[in-house]
Amino acid sequence: MDPKPPSPPHVLIFPCPAQGHVNSMLKLTELLLPAGLHITFLISAKDHDRLSRFTTVHSRLSSYPGFRFHVIHGLYEGPIDTDEKLSLMLIDSLPKVTTPLLRMLLLDSQVTCFIADGILGFSLDAAAGTGVPVMFFRTISACAFWAYFCIPDLINSGDLPFQGTNLDERIVNVKGMEGFLRRRDLPSFCRSGLSNTTFQEVSSITRRTPDAHALILNTFEDLEGPILSHIQKHCPNNNIYTIGPLHAHLKARSISKSTSSNSLFQEDRTCIGWLDQHAPKSVLYVSFGSIATLTRDQLIEFWHGLVNSEKPFLWVIREDLVSSLDDENKVPSELEKGTKERGYLVGWAPQEDVLTHSAVGAFLTHNGWNSTLESIVEGVPMVSWPFFADQQPNSRFVEAVWKLGLDMKDTCDRRIVEKIVKEVMEVRKEEFEESARRMAKLAKESVSSGGSSYRNLDRLIEDIKMMTAQSN
């Protein structure tokens, strides 16, 4: 009698239920499935419903019999923004609701490997004693991860908490960033006291990374090689797999010939037709991502700056982008006139397609990591205005290290917005476009056959398969 063939590797994937996390971990899923891996993807009921309504993800993944969504009920499903209390309501509900579920799945489902969002440190505790290796996937950049990792060192050196109010003071105790890192470039929660809950949780969770079997990052070696070498020194027992940019990797392997949107918002594709009417590299694309909120005053300052720059602009204004906006706070007539002449507003845009469009000449961005990578791959220079967390170090690297644009963090003044937009799109246009072209080339080479990210994904898949062989 022929021996029973070994079961295919079964991977459990668990993202933090937020747009940027779900998006990138679904892309990881799409890269792993063609290798014959079976995947169970844990997702909140709210996010599952939004994916069903706004994307083609179900039809894209239905061709893989080894894939299934496991919908989690009972999580906090209210609004999530930069308000720490709202974010903590979600974070607090996650371990309470999901730890028993994780234990059940890891013990009963013949799971080969558990790829957990690295911000969910309790996943290590849930997997303890099950014999299932845990891999951390971090949805942030390597430079932001390293800044998080170094927080205890900054406390020991006296850099944290800040003494005084000078945010331009240099931080010299983050290895690899000594020459350019300022206080204002540390993750935003570093500006709070040491008792700040987010500050404590993010620092302690990141320091648990060496306890995981591996670390997977959505980045590539030519972009963040020097920082990756520092991470490797402090995580010597981890396998580190840099396999990004994930969205470009999907296209390079012909897994997704077109954009594979995983948006939790309904995309307004009419903006593509509007872009078609404009000259190459003439339009400024503006989006602050899925979470951040503006005050009305900030909105108006940005709006004046955009109109006064005299550049055509495509602006994503989510319905929940602006706090405290009512009928009495109407938009000034000069802004309405300028927008009618040169602007186009949408509630949500098909961002990958927008950045690919020849009309887009620059991206005014919050520098969330997905947005930053999408801009890098398409060779679009950036104007950076980060809000919180990893976005602060990302924006500093955009200007000071990668030379892909200008960082105007911590300012919101119409004159500065106008000046920086013109600086990127006129005064230093050729300089930034050349840097952006060079980095885009390196990004695409990394995910092409033989490139570093391509090889690392192959290595990740083989390592997961080896786990199955060892467990059989």
Q: Any alpha helices (H) in 55-113, and if so which ranges?
A: 57-61, 84-108
Amino acid letter at 327? D
Say how many C-beta atoms besides its own lie within 10 A of residue 130's C-beta. 16
Backbone torsions φ then ψ of 382, nearest 5 degrees: -120, 145
CA 44 to chain centre: 19
Q: In sequence order, what are the residues at sequence separation of 6 or more whose Cβ sits closer than 8 angstroms to the Cβ of residue 162?
A: 183, 190, 191
Half-sphere exposure of 353 (CA within 13 A, CB side): 20
Q: Give the integer Cα–Cα distance in Å for 409 and 392.
A: 8
Q: Give the integer Cα–Cα distance in Å for 287 and 366.
A: 7
Which one of the listed residues 38, 47, 48, 117 is annotated catalytic?
A: 117
Which one of the listed residues 10, 21, 247, 278 is annotated catalytic?
A: 21
Token pair of 305 as six digits: 């700056």
Q: Give the integer Cα–Cα distance in Å for 261 and 295.
A: 29
For the question of residue 117 being annotated catalytic, the response is yes
Nearest-CA neighbor of 120 among 143, 148, 98, 103? 98
Contact 165, 191 (CB under 8 A): no
Residue 179, Cβ density class (10 Å: 0-12 exposed, 13-18 middle, ≥19 buried): exposed
Q: Give the integer Cα–Cα distance in Å for 464 and 400.
A: 37
Q: Give the integer Cα–Cα distance in Å for 9 and 340.
A: 55
CA 100 to chain centre: 28
CA 2 vs CA 7, 113, 130, 465: distances in Å: 15, 27, 30, 22
For the question of residue 21 being annotated catalytic, the response is yes
Q: Give the integer Cα–Cα distance in Å for 414 and 306.
A: 8
User: To which residue do tokens 């520098």 refer?
Assistant: 367
CA 281 vs CA 278, 335, 361, 378, 425: distances in Å: 8, 23, 4, 12, 8
The residues annotated with a catalytic role in the active site are: 21, 117
